Chain A
């Protein structure tokens, strides 16, 4: 049961509160994940990030740094946000949710069906997190894999990654349904060969994952036939059967989405 709600004015204050309050304390952004029925964890204390000023966008030659507190709708509306992130954000179809749900909330909830994490993984995004010892940088892949709960301050994407070709896809039964399978690919093509490729998928494991083995098989080569790549993917992922679909179906759909992403990105 929620006992107290805090609205700290600084990051230091927020971190201090988190340390002091201990277990069952969470940072709260928009609340679309934490405040929903879907959240089954016991929540004792909430620390709002509202006043921490986490909604700035900074551009350097090397990085685009996106304030983690931006809402999903702001990702779509702000001209500084790259198209790949806009496309992923638009896959969250429900505008009422996009209007208040945030980038940090989506990453922090760390769901396998996240619509934003796959493209961020494929872009090799880095997170700036706030810790008692100061700001830290870590790869989003590590954050996701290790189920970290530090306060995410910003999401940083290398400008050269943004320039690469990309594709983002999702499969859901209805438009508003939670994505059953998601896929994102970032690709660099040189001389009709795959020079570099990053592939991330959601819905086939406990969290969004990179398909590094596949990436390695595709790098520095001409693009293989669709069926061949699909076959490799099907041997690579092991989704579980649940109400959203059988394992066989998810495996198939994952292969299709990834391959379609690869070919779309390759074509672009």
Chain B
């Protein structure tokens, strides 16, 4: 049928099917800014358009519904490359992170400002009520709307949106535009899906309908006959290569326990057959023609079920070790079932897969028994949590194609180099034959630290020569991407009457699901990022990770630390209560502080021996003091409503800044013909602002503005190696590499200027903007570029920088909150949430604040609302954004504040430490502690649903 539409002021006619969704039609027309985050459920609003003046979801509209109407997308406001008032306000307020939802949010604000030029907070919330953003925590959007409203009247309007740091520096620590934000605010092509060529094939996966089964027989003959089917991959024609999908430094502590497709399925949604076809519809039709005969096995979902004496075994595999094989390996392998294939360990991780144990570790300092003997008070508690999903708005996606004999992978990944290494290994080729280009990432949160779908598309392009596009559905994102490890943590604490801790014991059991991605390191991190917060001479921990048939787990912002933090901070609060001691006083008495040596880290290396570290900077004292004042700690608040009880909580948190001794980052910088710079960074910006960090580092060292430095990052052909964006390494490692490259460039500039000015280098200094000044004269970078790049010059100035270190810098923080618990409905309202965080020198203050808001709101969601629910067959039955229950703008705490606590770290670049992941460690324990303060109930299992609270209050049956 034919329809006529006015799109962004242009009359257009379309021939369309009645069933075509408007989002698809607009994308077909070339408007990429209408994004798909929920597969047409209408729950994410990322596909928003303005239809006849109202913001609506284009995924819920059929093409005939827009016949004769007017549509406006963000592209309308992006004329002549100028940013509109709303777009520039979004950029300047620091609300553009990954940028996937940005066009939708901007449209909602455009429409709001049409209705009311001076909207209230409630109106802003209402305008944005339908748009899901997982990155930003929404809070800065209130600033953005205010700026936009004012800029509509006065385009030069500005507002201070964040504090600035380090007066002596000109760009570091200052509020500057995020370098990729304008592009994202304009809704331009930026993500993998925006670069797919016209003749591309589609890949769809036949997923297991069972949680645990052998594939007895698979018949693809009918599917192969379907016209347009290019290739079908099953366990029968799949390479016999075992690998792990975890994007970790090689050799990885994660076991090689999977193939591309195996003859055993280990979770609902596991791979059974991959179909490549000319269109997505043909691939889907072919999947329906594949006949599979399964031998269904009993499945295990919980840690207790996995650890039970006669539990079904997930990997009864033959075990191999690259190094460190135990003496009894031959005997061990006699119990293996051939159908379960192999597991290859790069080195021992104390696994016993025939008992479902994927990994284990234990260690400690001092003497734990003596510690408990010394104690006047001992408590022992167990803490649990449900499985939560990362929910990036852009699901996992990849586009693979051949360029001659080389494979090109357009990826939405945090780990381009690990991706290249793993794909090369599976393909049996060398790394020089593969190029990975990281496009803008529409939300990563750790889920994109793993190679979740890229290797299948890569392999199939490699053998068929065809370009392939593969994008997860939202359901696949839940059942076959990455989630946080489920954990059950027992904590035993001993203390003297005065509150001084004498012994800390943590027994942690984790559920890694079907495969061992990060199975040692995530649970271990739960210990290594929580135990060092308390100074105690006797500390012991034990970690055991189990396989099961739940949806796959892996990295998720915080990397185990949110769970360790929940257990230990809760136990500390419970101990303080038993001691009759104020919690803040208890924390103050036992907390880590500047300069102390953290001996416990000796036993907490990533699968190898760790190194004790001295605390180089710690802002906890100031954070606790300021937070206590803000929340009026110690003052009991009362509600006028007798059903509502108010309580307060406080926790201390920490994380790391990359992995000293393991991580490595590199950058190159080139001086261009006019004295500006091109920075080539290995760092993978996943929306956090890492590119901006790197540019600022270089600009600061070289005494230029950030506009004088452009950046290309995370392209394995163009930029140097970087381990990737994980473990909170971005600023500390990749940023420092950029700084070191700039320092090397500075030396070269000085050497060239010395020649030109005929003065010794020692007499010269850099001056803003792009000058070298000596005693006798000065020379500009432009002149230096002309001099060095001329026929008689030394050649273009190109410098490299690397960053590795054995020094650790820990970010710290204190989170305070005040909750109102309705004892009649069990509902918990967060009245106040104050996150006070020390990230050293905040390189991008407004973006650092945004990272913290985002991390906190995400984990408020985990704490109060989110959980994956399974049915008796092991299928996740709420695998969509609505039923899974993510927090949106109307779930914001009433009073939500972030305070950056400045410390000047001696090791981080310009004194910086990491900021994002740590923000996820406070919400669960601080909310639970506040709930206890309100109603006297310790809830030791998150999410803290009204149902659990009502049960605890004996309002409904246990």
Contacts and interface: CB of A to CB of B under 8 A. Distances in A.
Q: Are A and B part of the same complex? A: yes
Interface of A: 1-5, 7, 28, 30-32, 35-38, 46, 48, 50, 73, 93-97, 99-100, 171, 173-178, 243, 245-246, 248-249, 252-253, 256, 260
Nearest to B130: A96
A73 B890 CA distance: 17
B43 A7 contact: no
Given A248-B957, A252-B955, A31 B65 contact: yes
B759 interface: no
B584 interface: no
B130 A249 contact: no
A96 B56 contact: yes
A243 B885 CA distance: 11
Contact of A174 (B61, B126, B865): B865
Interface in B457-505: none
User: Which of A46, A50, A177 has the most chain B CB atoms closer than 10 A to its own CB?
Assistant: A177
Given A36-B41, A96-B131, A5 B956 contact: no
Given A35-B40, A35-B62, A94-B45, A3 B18 contact: yes
Q: Is the interface of B mostly helix, strand, loop or mixed?
A: loop
Nearest to A175: B890
Given A2-B19, A256-B824, A174 B945 contact: no
A112 to B, nearest CB: 15
A246 B40 contact: no
B56 A99 contact: yes
A31 B127 CA distance: 20
A201 to B, nearest CB: 15
Contact of A100 (B61, B131, B869): B61
A137 B43 CA distance: 35
Interface of B: 1, 17-19, 21, 38-43, 45, 48, 51, 54-57, 60-62, 64-65, 67, 108, 126-131, 824-825, 827, 861, 864-865, 869, 877-878, 880, 882-883, 885-888, 890-891, 945-947, 950, 955-957
B41 A37 contact: yes
A1 B17 CA distance: 11
Contacts of A3: 18
Given A37-B40, A96-B55, A176 B950 contact: no
Given A3-B18, A93-B129, A100-B54, A249 B950 contact: yes
A35 B61 CA distance: 7
Contacts of B40: 35-37
A93 B890 contact: yes
User: Which of A38, A48, A176 has the most chain B CB atoms closer than 10 A to its own CB?
Assistant: A176
B64 A252 contact: no
Given A93-B129, A96-B56, A243-B877, 20 more contacts: A5-B62, A5-B64, A32-B42, A35-B21, A37-B38, A73-B54, A93-B890, A94-B45, A97-B57, A100-B51, A100-B56, A174-B885, A174-B887, A177-B885, A243-B878, A252-B955, A253-B825, A253-B946, A256-B824, A260-B824
A227 to B, nearest CB: 11
A231 B56 CA distance: 43
29 contacts: A5-B64, A31-B60, A31-B61, A32-B60, A35-B62, A36-B40, A36-B60, A37-B40, A94-B42, A95-B128, A96-B48, A96-B55, A96-B56, A97-B130, A99-B54, A99-B55, A100-B61, A171-B946, A173-B946, A174-B865, A174-B885, A174-B887, A174-B888, A175-B888, A243-B877, A248-B957, A249-B946, A252-B950, A256-B824
B882 A97 contact: no
Given A95-B127, A175-B891, A249-B950, A2 B18 contact: yes
Contacts of A30: 60
A93 B891 CA distance: 11
A96 B39 CA distance: 16
Contacts of A256: 824-825
Given A35-B60, A46-B62, A249-B950, A94 B878 contact: no
Contacts of B62: 2, 5, 28, 31, 35, 46
B54 A176 contact: no
User: Which of A2, A3, A36, A245 has the most chain B CB atoms closer than 10 A to its own CB?
Assistant: A36
B64 A176 contact: no
A3 B1 CA distance: 11
A38 B129 contact: no
Contacts of B48: 96
Closest 7 CB pairs of A and B: A96-B130, A175-B890, A5-B18, A2-B19, A94-B130, A5-B64, A99-B54
B630 to A, nearest CB: 25
Q: Is the interface of A mostly helix, strand, loop or mixed?
A: loop
A177 B884 CA distance: 9
Contact of A48 (B65, B825, B887, B891): B65
A173 B865 contact: yes
A174 B886 contact: yes
Contact of B1 (A5, A28, A36): A5
A115 to B, nearest CB: 14
Contacts of B129: 93-96, 175-176
B808 to A, nearest CB: 38
A99 B115 CA distance: 14
A200 B760 CA distance: 89
Contacts of B17: 2
A5 B861 CA distance: 40
A174 B130 CA distance: 13
A96 B885 contact: no
Nearest to A100: B56
Given A97-B42, A99-B54, A176-B888, A7 B883 contact: no
Contact of A96 (B57, B882, B883): B57
Contacts of A177: 865, 882, 885
Nearest to B54: A99
Contact of B55 (A46, A95, A253): A95
A239 B39 CA distance: 30
Nearest to A246: B947
B111 to A, nearest CB: 9
A4 B38 CA distance: 25
Contacts of B891: 174-176
Contacts of A100: 51, 54, 56-57, 60-61
